[in-house]
Structure 1
Amino acid sequence: MKQKRWIMLLVSVILAVLSILGFVCAFYYRTKLWRVTQELHFEQSKLFEQEKHFKTMQEAAKDSFQAIASQALDKNNERFLHLAKERLEQKTIEANSQLDQKTLKFEQMVKPISDLLSKMESDFQRIERERGEQFGRLTEGLKSVSDISEQLRLETKTLTSALRRPEVRGSWGEMQLRRVVELAGMTSYCDFSEQVTGRLEDQLLKPDMVIHLPNNRQIIVDAKAVLDAYLDAIEAETEENRKVALIRHAKNLQSRVKDLAKKSYWDLFENSPDFVILFIPNEALLAAALEIDRNLIEDAMKDKIIIASPTTLVAVLKSIAYGWQQEKVHQNAQHILDTAKEFYDRLQPWLKNLDLLGGKLESAVKSYNDSMGSLESRVLPSARKIKDLGFQDRVDLPQLKGVEKTVRSTAFSESEN
């Protein structure tokens, strides 16, 4: 409604400005027309006076001529009348000439005025046409704004009616909670679980979300969309009604804190800290309650309830996500360490077997060299004598060499020694 009033006020101001502009233009042209009209009246008056003077002179001349004619009728009546007629005709011609000149001058003076009046009329028509077009566009704009406002009002009313239903409110709160945890970079069924059911002392409990922490710990989050009184405060027409609705809104949130504290969700999970996060899905909902009760958050913490808005919950979840990253880094480092230990443990018997193999190779080399020495000193000399006895066509026996290289000892065998 305020937006519509502002639009109507803006339209009134625009129409007032256009009216003032038209009035100023009309006043300016009327003043100029009045001045020209005054000049025209003045010239007409002069012309009228001249005509009157001419008629007076004409009458005087006529009277004079009649008098002269009466006095000299007997002598030169015809001649005098002829002269008088010529004189009268001459005066008439002069008067008509002056009248034509005055008329031409008057027409020349009136023509700019006529042109100015025509231009002024054209300008007035153009201004009126533009004003009509602007008013038409303004009317269409106002109608469009009115239609949009009405559509927005209906949609807002529909949304408000829907949010007053508990099941819609609950679904909206849970949806907002899921969006926040996903915004923080968490993954479903890995970093958090939804609608986890548990039983505590014959009581079935189902928190909205359980956030998993490193070392198999959990944080419980429950979403509460406290909307009824807040919507009443928004729709309130007076400040007093708004204040009453906000007080009721703060009390409703306090009641949700007490109800959540009675459920003792922290006893449902073995590694859960002794608190539960109460998620408010909209910043304005929490701000409106804090406007009435500034100790709301502190009082809730005394009941082991931490009230969190989307902004504060994102900060907490970001910290938890960072903790998970550090935990994964730690797990990877531990896995590398365990693999290194396993590799070291497997390397030890392999090196031991390799050292035993080296020892056996060294023993085999020694036996080979001893056999070669015995063969060279005792067997081969006798075999060479056999060739000297008549077997010169036989190929000489090859010269055998002993193995001079020894097996390289390992650090493992040295440490054993």
Structure 2
Amino acid sequence: GERAASAAARAEAAAATADARARGDAEVLARLKVSEAEAELRGARERLAELAGVEMQRQALATELSGLKAGQEERDRAHAAELARLGETFSGLAGKALEAAQAKLAENAEAVLARHREAAGQNLEANRNSLAELIAPMRETLVKYETRLGEVEQARSEAYGGLKEQLAAVASGQRLVSEEAAKLVSALRSSGKTSGSWGEQQLRNTLEMAGLREGMDFTLQAHQAGEAGGRRPDAIINLPGGRQLIVDSKCSLNDYLAAVEAPGEAERLAALKRHAAAVRGHARGLAEKAYWNEFGAAADFVVMFIPGENFLSAAMEHDLALLAWAFDQRILLAGPINLLALAKTVALVWRQEKLADEAREIGKLGADLHAAIATMADHLGGVGRNLGQAVGSYNEFVGSLERNVLPKARRFTEMGVERGKKAVAALPAVDAAVRPVAARELLAPPADDAAA
């Protein structure tokens, strides 16, 4: 019963393995192979149990054979003793008969012992053969199990090898990102110039992301001479109509980073308040520069770019009046999202301006084309009138020739005056008319319209 259940389990595992192999699921196939190997192992264990029973039978037979040998040896010893005693008793009376009987008895005993030995040897060989027959399937099963186990291990290695490589790559990438982030934080903290350069690069990236082109739609670090020795805003965005929008990047992160790394809530709040005060101080300093006075075409306000939404939102969260106060100072606080929206609006206005310029150019071309067509119509009217006059003059010439000249020439012929070799060719009358104009643009306006 157990062997049939094991065989059924192995068949079920083999069917599931074939199904998983057909679907190409490597992981499921690996698990099914392990299940199939476990089913085969249970069958092998059952055979080992049967083999243990056979081994116990063999040991019992060996014990019985040992007992038979011991009994036979005991009987031999007893028989020898008896023979010795009988020999001593009858030695004098029947020596030859006793010797013959003893020899015969020894021969018979040897034959019996040989038969017993042969039977025991046959039983032992039979048991050995039976044991070998039982062990052979077990050996084959163990070999198959080892082979299947190797296949399962290989499949598992192939299934999870790629995942391990990807996890290692992700871990390596995270380490690199962490290292680069640490380097960036260290650089921003160590040098104000480094943080300023980073903010200016973020400003450039935001403007270019909006579709503005450096050198055409905006300029960086443009110098403007003034009373204070010259101003150099971070960026000037060109607006349609010759106007300009001044953008200055301000990046102060020490207090913000201190708040992020603060061990307690009180230290975090204190650092964020210092960060908000630093942002307000930057706005105040930017308002004092009054770029709208240095740049005549500049807008009435200046955009103060903070290169991080979290930096700006943290400052506004702990200084609720910061945005309104800065706007009163003609300073517009903007993070990357707001500046991107503003720059995209400028790019859209430039596209609309370009479309308007193209529309004006198309209108000018249309007016020029209309004037050229009007001039051509005037010339065409003159050509038509001249053609009509030429046809009338031709017909009048032909009529005069027929009425006045040709009758007199015929009189010379009638009078016998020799004429030339070439006869006067007949001249056809021209009655073709000039094609009338049908296009209303080329027609003369009605009298009422002309008077109007």
Q: Confirm or deny a common fold (TM above 0.5).
A: yes
* 1:289 Cα deviation after fit: 0.6
Deviation at 1:225, TM superposition (A): 0.9
Residues 352/154 of structure 1: CA separation in 2 closer, same or farther (3 Å cut): closer
Decide which of 289, 314, 334 is 2:360's aligned counterpart. Answer: 334
Structure 1 residues 182, 358: closer, same or farther in 2, change over 3 A?
A: same
Partner of residue 191, structure 1:
217
| SS of equivalent to 1:200 | coil
How many pairs does the alignment contain?
Answer: 275
Matches within 5 A, 1:233-312: 233-312=259-338
Displacement of 1:364 after TM fit? 2.0
Partner Cα distance (1:206, 1:198) in 2 = 6
Alignment partners' CA distance in 2, 1:401 and 1:151: 102
**In the alignment, what sits opposite 1:321?**
347
Q: Distance in 1 between matches of 2:369 and 2:243?
A: 32
Aligned pair 1:162/2:194, yes or no?
A: no
* Local SS of the residue matching 1:222: strand
Matches within 5 A, 1:133-148: none
Residue 403, structure 1, aligned to residue 430, structure 2:
yes
Residue of structure 1 in register with 2:410 after alignment: 384
2:241 maps to 215
3-state secondary structure, aligned to 1:307: strand
Shift of 1:395: 6.5
Tell me the C-alpha RMSD between the 2 structures. 3.0
Matched ranges for 1:39-58 at <5 A: none
> What's the offset of the Cα at 1:160?
1.9
Query: Which digits, 9 at most, give the CA deviation of each residue in 1:1-55, with x for residues without a partner?
Result: xxxxxxxxxxxxxxxxxxxxxxxxxxxxxxxxxxxxxxxxxxxxxxxxxxxxxxx
Unpaired runs of at least 5, structure 1: 1-143
1:319 to 1:156, Cα distance in 2 relative to 1, 3 A: closer
Task: Pick from 371, 389, 396 the counterpart of residue 363 of structure 1.
Answer: 389
Moved more, 249-258 or 184-193: 184-193
> What secondary structure does 1:273 align onto?
strand
**Percent of residue pairs identical:** 37
Distance 1:389 1:315 in 2: 108
- Within a 5 Å distance, the mapping from 1:82-93 to structure 2 comes to none
- Distance in 2 (CA, whole Å) between partners of 1:370 and 1:146 is 108
Distance 1:193 1:156, change over 3 A: closer
Superposed counterparts of 1:47-126, under 5 Å: none
- Sort the Cα spacing of 1:393 and 1:166 in 2 relative to 1 into closer, same or farther, 3 A: closer
Amino acid at match of 2:363: L
Normalised to the residue count of structure 1, the TM-score between the two structures is 0.60
Structure-2 change in CA distance of 1:150 and 1:313 (3 Å): closer
- Aligned-pair CA distance for 1:393: 10
Please state whether the residue corresponding to 1:204 is helix, strand or coil: coil
Contact 1:355 1:409 in 2 (8 A): no
Instruction: Give the residue type in structure 2 aligned to 1:203.
Output: G
Secondary structure of the residue aligned to 1:414 is: coil
